[in-house]
Structure 1
Amino acid sequence: MATRWLGVGLAAVLAVLTLGLALTGRLGLYLNPDSTWFAVGMSVVVLIGAVLTFALPLGAEDDHGHDHVHRRHPVAAAATAVGGVAASLLVVTALVTPPASLSAELAMSRDIDAPPLFAGTDAVALATTGDTKTFGVGEWATVFATATNPDAYDGDPVSLTGFVTPGDGDFDLTRLVITHCVIDAQPASIPIDTGDAAPATGQWVTITGTVRSAADGRLSIEADTVEFIDEPGDPYEY
């Protein structure tokens, strides 16, 4: 039974958790929505496999047709027991803990003050044409970091949503950008100038304002309004 639990048992629990998150619309807290079909499909395969294992008698996986008895080294047995308990606690904790988004503190810890890696030249090309209506924080962060002609963006209107982090302006508007899942999440930040005191770090806001280019080439957003909001149902950009 212990072998079954550490193998197909834990896998089945994770599959049920994945399907439950997908059905309640919360799988996006962990995965890029484009990967949902794969995660759900693999979960169904795992559950089918788990059901089929009931056709295998207990102990059959240890029956290799040998007459001798396999003896496990005590250290190996202890390591297996400790690993099994740790894996079980991790999976059960994931099952009973409410899903939550990554925190602002984690975003700041991942900020290595380097140009964003999640957007390419297409974002910059669109920005130069003024076609920025669909830009999120991630695209604007790329433009701000790579612009060679900052004056070209001066006066562009923006309306963006993100959470507050300390930064070069009065504060930074930040969003976590995911490629595949939360493991590869990268923070994207753009400086906001309001002339007022910065909201609390981690507060979600919607900014309406204008891109401004300073004499030194620094780009920032001059905010006309800063609306405090609750964390959106989909807190990431992709």
Structure 2
Amino acid sequence: MRRAEWVAARWLGVGVTACLAVVTIGLALGGQLALYINPDSAWFAVSMAVLALVGTVATFLVPLGAEADHGHDHGDVPHGIAHAHDHREHDHGSDHDHGSEHVDHGDLDREELDREAETVMLAPRRALAIVATVTGGVLASGITVAALVLPPASLSVELAMARDVGAPPLFAGMDSVTLATSGDTSSFGIGEWATVFATSTHPDTFEGESVKLTGFLTPDPDDPDSVRLTRLVITHCVIDAQPAALPVLSPGWESEHEVGDWVELDGTVRTGADGTLVIEPATVTAVPEPADPYEY
């Protein structure tokens, strides 16, 4: 039983870590790590993965179960010291026996009852701790095995739509807004343009700006004659991925495209009737999903 516990502890420690490290390095070598983290952080993730594998190899030098040894074995005590220690304990015990002719058995009974009550109180906590440990171990193992056997995949369009809470997206800083005002928008993606659309106080400044963007289509809940060109923007990893969307004037778009279709759009920024910015498309061409479907 103890051996099984040691193996489980080793698996949930270095075993899971080693598997995730292998997955990380494999994704990096295959050029697919960007599906999960910002490419700017790839060097750090790969370095930590290599370090984890080195640590895993080092654990083979540690005997199984050694992690449960907390250093209670203080080595052999010299015979003379041990004998003297036993002698002092014997003398102490003798003094106690001779000095106390009567033992209060009521106190002993109360102590025994207190110990039993404490054991009863701790039993549910121990059971809960065991259940939590087993549950966490199963979940961690399941995620690790899934990472090993499932092919890499990007986040779905449905997830992007679910994460869209309707709040104005702010993926870029004021430097991007300032750059847009100066007219240098050639490097802008959907994330930067979404920030400009949401924060511009002078929409007419961008009237007539040309855009060429790639994203997937999602419906505009506020305007049936518009569709939204959407892309997921990642700051650090897919956990913080948020959708950026731009309104595109396209009456009857459902007759040519479906929700989730990837398209390349050439168009012009216009000021809508309500004073907000929209894109007037010149061409909307269906394209396959890019190898790197995110913006960063």
Matches for 1:184-203 after TM superposition, within 5 Å:
184-198=240-254, 199-203=257-261
**Which residue identity lines up with residue 18 of structure 1 in the other structure?**
T
How many correspondences in the alignment?
A: 234
SS at match of 1:200: coil
1:130 to 1:92, Cα distance in 2 relative to 1, 3 A: same
Amino acid in structure 2 at the alignment position of 1:52: A
**Tell me, which stretches of 5 or more residues in structure 1 are unaligned?**
none
- Helix, strand or coil at the partner of 1:55: coil
For residue 278 of structure 2, give the secondary structure of its aligned residue in structure 1. Answer: strand
Aligned-residue Cα RMSD (Å) equals 1.6
- Taking structure 1 as the reference length, the TM-score comes to 0.93
The equivalent position to 2:56 in structure 1, one of 40, 50, 53, is 50
Q: Secondary structure at the match of 1:230?
A: coil
- Report the identity percentage: 62
Going from structure 1 to structure 2, the CA distance change for 1:79 and 1:127 (only over 3 Å counts) comes to closer
1:40 is aligned to 2:46: yes
Residue in structure 1 matched with residue 90 of structure 2 by the alignment: none
Q: Post-superposition shift, 1:165?
A: 0.5
Larger Rg: 2
Q: Tell me the alpha carbon deviations over residues 120-159 of structure 1, each in whole angstroms, 9 at most, x when there is no partner.
A: 2112211112111111001111111111111111111110
Contact residue 261 and residue 286 of structure 2 kept, 8 A: yes
In 2, distance between residues paired with 1:33 and 1:14? 18
Q: 2:285 is matched with which residue: 203, 227, 232?
A: 227
Instruction: Give, as a single letter, the amino acid of the residue that structure 2 aligns with 1:210.
Output: T
Match of 2:32 in 1: 26
Contact preservation (8 Å) 1:206, 1:226: yes
In structure 1, how many angstroms separate the alpha carbons of the residues matched to 2:209 and 2:165? Answer: 27
More helix as a share of residues: 2
Tell me the alpha carbon deviations over residues 9-41 of structure 1, each in whole angstroms, 9 at most, x when there is no partner: 000000000000110011100100000001000
2:9 to 3, 10, 24: 3
- Structure 2, gaps ≥5 residues long: 1-6, 74-122
Is 2:224 the partner of 1:171? no
Deviations 1:55-82 (A, max 9, x none): 0011111122447xxxx94443343223
- Contact 1:126–1:132 (Cα < 8 Å) also in 2: yes
Structure-2-length-normalised TM-score: 0.76
